[in-house]
Structure 1
């Protein structure tokens, strides 16, 4: 019952209650993002949703305009503290996770949940093997099991298996644990960036993440 009904109700209620904070964040951070390089405030990123449906995930833009698309060796998005693609305000909102705040709108739209597997890029679906597509059985989350306990410290394939573990064990108490652990990680700013990673450039024009 929780998985099918109450989880969605809680998502909607919390997202609506938190909307005033999103407005405050946009009023303060939005102009700074724009003034730093005269680019858009938002970065709308296509992501894989429940049952493989592609949706636009909303984020505050943390990278410079026309930043190169860098990927790790496993195909996941490159993420490092000394990434030259990050703007000054972008590094701050990444560390504080404020760049994810517009995903409250994705929750209200029904594309995402507060807690769930972090959504992959659409092209990643072709890279799934074995039971890995099972992570698509639920709505992706603003935070999840991996973000709470590992952030960016484990390989992508290992993160998928943790996502499947979450799919198989969804409960109110597990979501509470993940939410609280995420809050602690965000406050401490633990493991936000990958310290060592090999990256490759992907030919993909457009604005930065």
Structure 2
């Protein structure tokens, strides 16, 4: 918290300095300002920091995830703006309107940026093994293993499960290890003794961790004087925060969950956004498209556009377009490469080779920066694809889908999506499908915009592109 306050103070000082320059530029230089800018900015900064603290903007537990922390800061900014404005008006204080408006216009984005930087720095340190928390998971072994799988995958959470405490009725044996190598330390009856001996930073209670609510409450009482964080994980996974809200009623922490949002992802609003966005991109990128087409044609004289049958919305087939990046007989010789793929694959369903010899010289550059995907903007205009969504699959890939995997066809396939901004071809098939289903179930315009922004970074870094 002290670091966050210090960084916020620095951000507001910068905002005040820029606001002063803006005030001078708008109203012209003044040798003797009628208001004391230093006193005014000090008072507004102090009030702003207090508003952030009051509205839970310095809760370090929110820093790793981000959205709620950002929301609290913005709410505090609105509150500070209203309160300061009302005080200035009611007391008839002399304060430059230009300075006041510039200060409160610059402050919120700078505060959000400093939290974004802090969040990324914290997550990066945790991924590298620093600032991590030891965790004892409480619950059935199978639930502990499910949690461990997620925590191991999302290392930015900064948690290491060092042991499990199981229900007395569990068939697991104390002293053995779970399938993910987590040692079973004891049963519920030993929890307090284990917590005292091991001193974990977090106790993580899974679904079915205690026999009843009264037992859990007594455990919480016993932990009251210990420096241990308690986290309860409900039996819900792959659900965005936007779909979940907790409303305690009559002492019951009721978790309300919105139904999946696949239908919202095919509404006219998203379609209008896709048409306008893709048409604008085609116009702006037309010189680039021309240069790419010329380089592909001059390389070997083959066709510029590669056309392929893909599976789209509701399982319907469509003609998928992209700039050709492989030799003209690439599909014919793919069968001969199956053995090599088995040694080089990162995905059990999609055919992706890290060093595919079929790729042409210009094709390698186009793939590295995903420029070969640009013709799909025309697929978007035609209504076969969306700017954001799961990638369109080949019929042979769909033929081996599980029942759950077919749900990705409930929305239009996209040029970019969670798969592209989360590792692309480096991901396993299981992670690829998990991300696609998460997108389908938790669709929102905000998520689409964030994916488009993250796509720029993913393309520049070229991670997982081959």
Which TM-score bucket, shorter chain as reference? 0.7 to 0.9
- Deviates most, 106-115 or 61-70: 61-70
- Give the CA RMSD over aligned residues: 1.6
User: For residue 45 of structure 1, what is the aligned residue in structure 2?
Assistant: 308
User: For residue 186 of structure 1, what is the aligned residue in structure 2?
Assistant: 459
Q: How far 1:171 moved relative to its partner?
A: 0.1
User: For residue 131 of structure 1, what is the aligned residue in structure 2?
Assistant: 404
Work out the CA distance in 1 between the residues paired with 2:403 and 2:321.
30
Work out the CA distance in 2 between the residues paired with 1:75 and 1:173.
30
1:11-38, Cα deviation, whole Å (9 max, x unpaired): 0000111112442123211121111111
Residue pairs, 1:14-163, within 5 angstroms: 14-67=277-330, 68-69=333-334, 70=337, 72-73=341-342, 74-80=348-354, 82-163=355-436
Work out the CA distance in 2 between the residues paired with 1:159 and 1:128.
13
Question: Is the alpha carbon distance of 1:121 and 1:94 closer, same or farther for their aligned partners in structure 2, counting shifts above 3 Å?
Answer: same
Give the helix-richer structure, 1 or 2: 2
1:163-204, Cα deviation, whole Å (9 max, x unpaired): 1111000001111111111111111222213xxxxxxxxxxx
Work out the CA distance in 2 between the residues paired with 1:128 and 1:115.
21
1:52-93, Cα deviation, whole Å (9 max, x unpaired): 00111100000112122256552312232x322111100011
User: For residue 206 of structure 1, what is the aligned residue in structure 2?
Assistant: none
Query: Could you list the runs of 4 or more consecutive aligned residues of structure 1 that deviate by over 6 angstroms after TM superposition?
Result: none
User: For residue 272 of structure 2, what is the aligned residue in structure 1?
Assistant: 9
Aligned residues: 192
Kept in 1: contact 2:325–2:366 (CA 8 A): yes
User: For residue 445 of structure 2, what is the aligned residue in structure 1?
Assistant: 172
User: For residue 196 of structure 1, what is the aligned residue in structure 2?
Assistant: none
Question: Is the alpha carbon distance of 1:79 and 1:22 closer, same or farther for their aligned partners in structure 2, counting shifts above 3 Å?
Answer: farther
User: For residue 207 of structure 1, what is the aligned residue in structure 2?
Assistant: none
Kept in 2: contact 1:150–1:191 (CA 8 A): yes
Kept in 2: contact 1:2–1:172 (CA 8 A): no
Work out the CA distance in 2 between the residues paired with 1:135 and 1:187.
27
Work out the CA distance in 1 between the residues paired with 2:398 and 2:290.
36
Work out the CA distance in 2 between the residues paired with 1:45 and 1:157.
24
Question: Looking at CA atoms only, which structure, 1 or 2, has the larger radius of gyration?
Answer: 2
Greater relative CO (CA pairs within 8 A, separation 6+): 1
Q: How far 1:118 moved relative to its partner?
A: 0.5
SS at match of 2:459: helix
Kept in 2: contact 1:43–1:58 (CA 8 A): yes
